[in-house]
Amino acid sequence: MSTETSNKICVVIGASHAGVNFAFALRKEGWEGEIILFDRDPEFPYHRPPLSKAYLTSEEGTTQDLLFPKQNYETDRVSLRLGETVSSINRKEKSITISDGSVQQYDKLVLTTGARPFIPPIKGLNTAKRVFAMRTAEDAINIRKSLNKYHNKVVIIGGGYIGLETAASLSKLGASVTVLEREERVLSRVTAPEMSTYFKELHQQHGVSLRSNKNVTSVDFNSYINEVQCDDGSSYKADIIIVGVGIIVNTELAEEAGLEIENGIKVDANCKTNDEDIYALGDCTFHYNPHYKKYIRLESVQNAVDQAKVAAKSICGEAVTYNAIPWFWSDQYDVKLQMVGLSQGYNHTIKRIETDRDNCQSVWYFKDDELLAVDAINNAKAYMLGTRFIQKNQKIDKHKLSDISIAITPTSFI
Amino acid sequence: MAKITFLTSDNETIITEATTGNVMELAVQNKVKGIDGDCGGVCSCATCHVHVEPASWDKVGAPSQLESDMLEFDDNVSEFSRLCCQIDVSDAIDGIVLNVAK
């Protein structure tokens, strides 16, 4: 491998979880040539999940958790071009153009362009004061800076994980937080009603107000505070507004280069696009999941890291295909939520509340007899066992699973 | 300053030194094979599983409830299993030896 790649250049666009893990995996797999990562974000590549969780509540001035220590970029010869935006891909020339007009050749190009927050077209939102998304270190820093004793009324638009985690963190910092969710319950896109109810109650216990069926129609800023108006006539005062209603996948570069796009950049089982020399990884990809037998797009660290490993091996000539069970986590207050699998398409759930421990629950999602997913609240056993069952397509005795007197062990539900 | 030794499943010995952070970060920094730390150290992925040398166990100590639950159903669990993202580097663990789980 070394003789083949020593003069070659691998260019990566996007230096977050997918891009950075890919770069180090590529070096580990034996790539000898240059590896160059571009990202418009000037911050040294950092872990994103803590931004809405531990980082937001940590001491001001705390640095982000770095994905890899700085010295590893030197020892592994991974070049970072931070604060630089790539403006186009020229597939014929096998080069990219950077916004300052300079050109960088590549032999292999990897798109890890991720996604950006979707800011809905709400009247007045663009002229409101102290409006933030929650995606980058800059967002988290700006939110933390804005919150003070004069500005502590926060309205979060969107009751998904980002919204709820941010709500938990800001309420910990002393903010008065209201979450406005358009659907009839929070987390409606990703979980069963049991989970929505659990988190609604959890937030209420901590003094956060979760309002569902709240469709925000306009925001007015009147000299010192924002007024968030909903279509049912209600309105909420907000010093700070945080928008967490979803993302837009960054596919523009790929699309303009003529790569196949379908709900993301379409890739094969090796994470390769329809161009032999261009791969795509992470949140921006529309990829096939062999376990669930369908094409999906995933916003997750797990997918970014697993695809990074597959692509690195594939580029270095190893026959490997992507085959991972998705997993996720969320931290809110002192609750640890761990999720495995994809629940979409479930037709019933089984909920367990363990009696031998406080606040230890799990929801098991089934489509007929097939276990699709498990959401585990302070219950790593359920999460780990669910992972194993899903991986093995294990047939489960649902009567036993429903019986709370039967403890969770590797064999108790088989 | 703590000296921490990793023994990988390929029988490679990697001796490291550190003063801060956690042991998973130290392993990643030193490219210890078999330690990935995919979740960044929040006890969610179980990709940093080590078997502590019995002689080092008292220095390292037992896992928390969450961590032991994560480990309990791991195929390779032993009575000396730990997820090393949950082990903080300090003088107290100077000299420990960790076998990276397969």
**Spatial CB neighbours of A2, under 8 Å, sequence gap ≥ 6:** A30, A32
Instruction: Determine whether the interchain pair A378/B66 forms a contact, defined as Cβ–Cβ distance below 8 Å.
Output: yes
Q: How many CA atoms lie within 13 A of A335 on its CB side?
A: 26
- Contact status of A380 with chain B (Cβ, < 8 Å): yes
The predicted structure's pLDDT at residue B6: 98
What are B46-97's pLDDT values in tens digits? Answer: 999 999 999 999 999 999 999 999 999 888 999 999 999 999 999 999 999 9
Task: Quickly list DSSP for A156-197.
Answer: EE--SHHHHHHHHHHHHTT-EEEEE-SSSSTTTTTS-HHHHH
Which domains does chain A show, CATH number per domain? Answer: 2-116+248-315 (3.50.50.60), 131-245 (3.50.50.60), 334-402 (3.30.390.30)
The predicted structure's pLDDT at residue A61: 65
Out of A47, A383, A410, closest to residue B40 by CB: A47
Out of B25, B28, B70, closest to residue A384 by CB: B70
- Predicted ipTM? 0.92
Q: Are A273 and A260 in contact (CB under 8 A)?
A: yes
**Domain spans, chain B:** 2-100
Region A10-16: mean pLDDT is 98
Nearest residue of A to residue B66, measured between CA atoms: A380
Nearest residue of B to residue A302, measured between CA atoms: B38
Element (H, E) at A256: helix A252-256
What's the whole-model pTM score? Answer: 0.95
The Cα A265–Cα A272 span in angstroms is 10
Q: Is the dihedral of CA A381, A297, A161, A214 positive or negative?
A: negative
Cβ pairs bridging A and B (under 8 Å): 54
With bands split at pLDDT 50, 70 and 90, how would you rate the model's confidence at A2? very low
The predicted structure's pLDDT at residue A63: 73
Out of B38, B44, B67, closest to residue A338 by CB: B44
Instruction: Determine whether the interchain pair B72/A384 forms a contact, defined as Cβ–Cβ distance below 8 Å.
Output: yes
What are A28-82's pLDDT values in tens digits? Answer: 999 999 999 999 999 999 999 999 998 888 877 677 789 999 999 999 999 999 9
Out of B38, B40, B73, closest to residue A65 by CB: B40
- Whether A3 has a pLDDT exceeding 70, the answer reads no
Q: Long-range contacts for A334-338 (Cβ within 8 Å, ≥24 apart)?
A: A335/A202, A335/A359, A335/A377, A335/A378, A336/A377, A336/A378, A336/A380, A336/B44, A336/B66, A337/A375, A337/A376, A337/A377, A338/A375, A338/A376, A338/A379, A338/A380, A338/A383, A338/B44
Q: Which of A146, A121, A148 is nearest to A131 (CA)?
A: A146
User: What is the fold, at CATH topology level, of the domain defined by B2-100?
Assistant: Ubiquitin-like (UB roll) (3.10.20)
Q: Which of A197, A180, A206, A225 is nearest to A57 (CA)?
A: A206
- Whether A258 has a pLDDT exceeding 50, the answer reads yes
Largest pairwise CA distance in chain B: 34
Instruction: Determine whether the interchain pair B29/A379 forms a contact, defined as Cβ–Cβ distance below 8 Å.
Output: no
The Cα A6–Cα A96 span in angstroms is 20
Residues of A within 8 A of B25 (CB-CB) are 69
Instruction: Determine whether the interchain pair B29/A72 forms a contact, defined as Cβ–Cβ distance below 8 Å.
Output: yes
- Whether A1 has a pLDDT exceeding 70, the answer reads no
Instruction: Determine whether the interchain pair A327/B45 forms a contact, defined as Cβ–Cβ distance below 8 Å.
Output: yes
Q: Which of A209, A223, A128 is nearest to A170 (CA)?
A: A209
Mutation pick from A325, A338, A359 vs chain B, by most beta carbons of B within 10 Å, is: A338
Q: Which of residues 32-91 of B touch A (CB under 8 A)?
A: 36, 38-46, 66-67, 69-70, 72-74
The Cα A106–Cα A176 span in angstroms is 50
The predicted structure's pLDDT at residue A13: 98
What are A110-151's pLDDT values in tens digits? Answer: 999 999 999 999 999 999 999 999 999 999 999 999 999 999
Element (H, E) at A22: helix A17-28
Out of B31, B36, B70, closest to residue A380 by CB: B70
Residues of B within 8 A of A301 (CB-CB) are 38-40
Instruction: Calculate how close chain B gets to A380, using CA atoms only, in Å.
Output: 5
What are A278-314's pLDDT values in tens digits? Answer: 999 999 999 999 999 999 999 999 999 999 999 999 9
